[in-house]
């Protein structure tokens, strides 16, 4: 098992992604869920950076874009959460189930 920095970083990335997934599954507060999504995005960023070493700098450009889009998404998402909060007086994810069958 070759545990150089690339591999280690990839394993860390996998770990962070798994943690983020577990967080989405286990937390009810919408904002916390959002933060877990950000964590997952970061894990992916880490993976991309690792691979940019061997596959070229385009990967880092992609990371750049990921960050930009994540920022935009965070802004809009939080705006939505604010709007929902005004309606529900609470941001538990379990209550947003209008799309049930």
Partner 1 sequence: MTESVFFLLFAILAAGGGIMMIASRNPVASLMYLVLTFFALSGIFVMLDAHFLAAVQVIVYAGAIMVLFLFVIMLLNLGHREEIDMRSHLSRLVALVVGSSLFAVVAALVLQGEKSSLASEEGTVVMEAILRSRGAVGAVAEPLFTSYLVPFELTSLLLLVAIVGAIVLARRRAP
Partner 2 sequence: MVSLPLLLQEAHAAYEPILPVWIIVLPLIGAVVNGIGAFMWRGNKSIPSLVGPLAVIGAFVIVVLNFGAMLTAAPHDPAIVSLWTWMAAGQLNVGVDLQFDQLSILMLLVVTGVSSVIHVYSVGYMGEDPGYSRYFAYLNLFVFFMVVLVLGANFPITFVGWEGVGLCSYLLIGFWYENEDFASAGKKAFVVNRIGDFGFLVGMFLIFVHFGTLSYTQVFAAAPATLAYGGVVVTAITLFLFLGCTGKSAQIPLYVWLPDAMAGPTPVSALIHAATMVTAGVYLVARTSVLFAMSPVSQAVVAAIGAGTALLAATIATQQYDIKKVLAYSTVSQLGYMFLAVGIGAYTAGVFHLMTHAFFKALLFLGSGAVIHAMHHAYHEVHSHEDPNDMRNQGGLRRYMPITFATMWVGTLAISGIIPFAGFFSKDEIIWYTGAYGYGILWGVALVVALLTAGYMTRLMVMTFYGENRTGESAKQHLHEVPAVMWIPLAILAVLSVVGGWVNIPDALPVLPGVHAFHDWLHPVFAPARGILESHGLHEAHTSPIGGGEAMWAGISTVAAAIVILLTFRALIRRTWKPAAESVEPTGLAGVLYNKWYVDELYDRMVILPLLALWRGCWRIVDDGLIDGSINGLAASTRAVGWIGGLFQTGRVSTYMFYFVMGVLVILATFLF
What is the CB neighbour count within 10 angstroms for residue 50?
19
Structural contact between residues 38 and 69, judged by C-beta atoms closer than 8 angstroms: no
**Binding-site partner at residue 96 among partner 2, partner 1, none, CB < 5 to 8 Å by type:** partner 2
For 77, residues 6+ apart whose C-beta sits below 8 A from its C-beta are 34
97 makes contact with partner 2 (CB under 8 A) = yes
Using CB under 8 A as the binding rule, whether residue 100 contacts partner 2 is answered as yes
| 39 in contact with partner 1 (CB under 8 A) | yes
Rounded to the nearest 10°, the torsion over CA 20, 23, 29, 34 is 10
Judge whether 81 and 34 are in contact, CB under 8 Å: yes
Which of 3, 99 has the CB closer to partner 1?
A: 3
Residues of this chain that interact with partner 1 (CB under 8 A) are 1-2, 4-12, 14-23, 25-29, 31-32, 34-36, 38-39, 42, 45-46, 49-55, 57-58, 60-61, 63-65, 67-76, 78-83, 85-86, 91-92
């Amino acid at each position: 098992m070759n545990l150089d920095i690339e591999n280690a970083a990839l394993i860390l990335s996998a770990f962070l992604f798994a943690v983020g997934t577990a967080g989405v599954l286990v937390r009810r507060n919408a904002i916390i869920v959002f933060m877990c999504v950000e964590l997952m995005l970061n894990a992916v960023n880490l993976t991309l950076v690792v691979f940019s070493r061997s596959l070229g700098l385009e990967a880092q450009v992609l990371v750049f874009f990921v960050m930009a889009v994540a920022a935009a998404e965070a802004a809009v998402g939080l705006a939505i959460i604010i709007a929902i909060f005004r309606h529900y007086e609470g941001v538990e994810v379990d209550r947003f189930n209008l799309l049930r069958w």
